[in-house]
Copies of this chain bind each other. A is one copy, B any other.
Amino acid sequence: MTDTDTNNPLTPDQQAEVDALRTESHATLRPTVPELEEVLYQALPVLDRGFVRVIDYMGDDAAIVQAARVSYGRGTKRSRDDRGLINYLMRNWHTSPFEMCEIKLHVKLPIFVARQWIRHRTANVNEYSARYSVLDNEFYVPDREQLRAQSASNRQGRGDLIEADEAEQVMEILREDAMRSYAHYEEMLNEGPDGERVDPERQGLARELARMNLSLGFYTQWYWKVDLHNLMHFLRLRADPHAQFEIREYADVITNEVMKRWVPATLAAFENYRLNGAQLSAQQLDVVRRLLAGEEVERSSTEMSPAEWRELMATIGRD
């Protein structure tokens, strides 16, 4: 997470709507998670102007157990037993009980991040419509420490920090082009706050066309609803070091602030069996066995690529 916590990404009007929602408490017989209720509707900041808001949730750790057992009542008597079963399910890829929990988020994110995010198809999405409404003048500008050159080792990522002068130029280009394209967007729309023409001589261009002039750094927002299994699949891929920094920021907030409050036993299992574990190929496994048997193993005696070998050495702590 970035250190933007102190910056509330909501406007006072938006915050007032959130505050209003947080005053109305209801009685329910459904499973409820007090730790998650604490942040319900609140904007958890991400990047310079983005956020993740938890809008609703269904289920908790116990609901996973309850579904796995197809129970009439709650899952097990003791939460320790719940943890044991959750570990068992995670370890053995019994994924369907995790699908029995669901979460609904409101996310504000740059369009280029949205384009990566939407590739996860098993989820429900309602995006703010730029055909129907005018987009806000908000675009992402990376922190200086994120302005990096193309990576030499990871062909699709970023590597070294770029130097001060060049970084300054980049910042200026990004800011100026975004401001100019938004100004032109408004000019083409020719729409005042109540929909009236700003320049009475011009008709104004349809919103669905004018938006073409905005760049991929502009923020959009959506409601995104997903089950816990598919959420973890998303997090595993998007919290990975190979994922682009910007989407990783969202993945980190969801993992560490949302999942942690919502389903702590599942998060622990997810970290142990997925995030912090390792997948070894048959060839890599063979090397591990030979090493454990006391053999000296060189890469040349295997069919592994240099990248795979490096990866294995890092995994087993020999780098």
User: A163 and B203: CB pair below 8 A?
Assistant: yes
Pick the contact of A174 from B27, B207, B213, B289 — CB < 8 Å? Answer: B213
Counting CB contacts under 8 A, is A48 at the interface? no
Interface range, A side: 35 or more
Enumerate chain B residues within 8 angstroms of A104, measured Cβ to Cβ.
Answer: 58-59, 100
Enumerate chain B residues within 8 angstroms of A132, measured Cβ to Cβ.
Answer: 155-156
User: B150 and A204: CB pair below 8 A?
Assistant: yes
- Chain A, 78-125, CB within 8 A of any chain B CB: 84, 87, 91-93, 96-97, 99-100, 102, 104, 106, 110-112, 114-115, 118-119, 121-122, 124-125
What's the nearest-Cβ distance from chain B to residue A104, in Å?
A: 6
User: A317 and B293: CB pair below 8 A?
Assistant: yes
User: B148 and A206: CB pair below 8 A?
Assistant: yes
User: B216 and A214: CB pair below 8 A?
Assistant: yes
User: B157 and A131: CB pair below 8 A?
Assistant: yes
A284 to B127 CA separation, bound complex (whole angstroms): 31
Residue from A13, A131, A150, A223 with most neighbouring chain B CB atoms (10 Å): A150
* Binary contact readout A55-78 vs B (1 if CB under 8 angstroms, 0 otherwise): 111110001001110111110000
User: With A28-B25, A131-B156, A308-B91 in contact, is A277–B288 under 8 Å at CB?
Assistant: no
User: B170 and A205: CB pair below 8 A?
Assistant: yes
Enumerate chain B residues within 8 angstroms of A156, measured Cβ to Cβ.
Answer: 129, 131-132, 207-208
* Binary contact readout A303-315 vs B (1 if CB under 8 angstroms, 0 otherwise): 0010010000001
User: A30 and B29: CB pair below 8 A?
Assistant: no
What's the nearest-Cβ distance from chain B to residue A132, in Å?
A: 4
User: A29 and B18: CB pair below 8 A?
Assistant: no
Enumerate chain B residues within 8 angstroms of A221, measured Cβ to Cβ.
Answer: 70
Residue from A70, A87, A100, A207 with most neighbouring chain B CB atoms (10 Å): A70
User: B20 and A30: CB pair below 8 A?
Assistant: no
User: With A277-B280, A282-B276 in contact, is A112–B212 under 8 Å at CB?
Assistant: yes
- Return the chain B residue nearest A38 by Cβ: B29
User: B57 and A21: CB pair below 8 A?
Assistant: no
A22 to B128 CA separation, bound complex (whole angstroms): 39
User: A106 and B70: CB pair below 8 A?
Assistant: yes
Contact sample, A vs B, 17 pairs, CB 8 Å cutoff: A25-B28, A27-B32, A30-B40, A30-B57, A58-B102, A68-B126, A70-B221, A84-B305, A100-B126, A112-B212, A131-B157, A132-B155, A149-B203, A273-B281, A276-B281, A277-B281, A292-B292
Closest 4 CB pairs of A and B: A17-B73, A158-B206, A276-B282, A99-B124
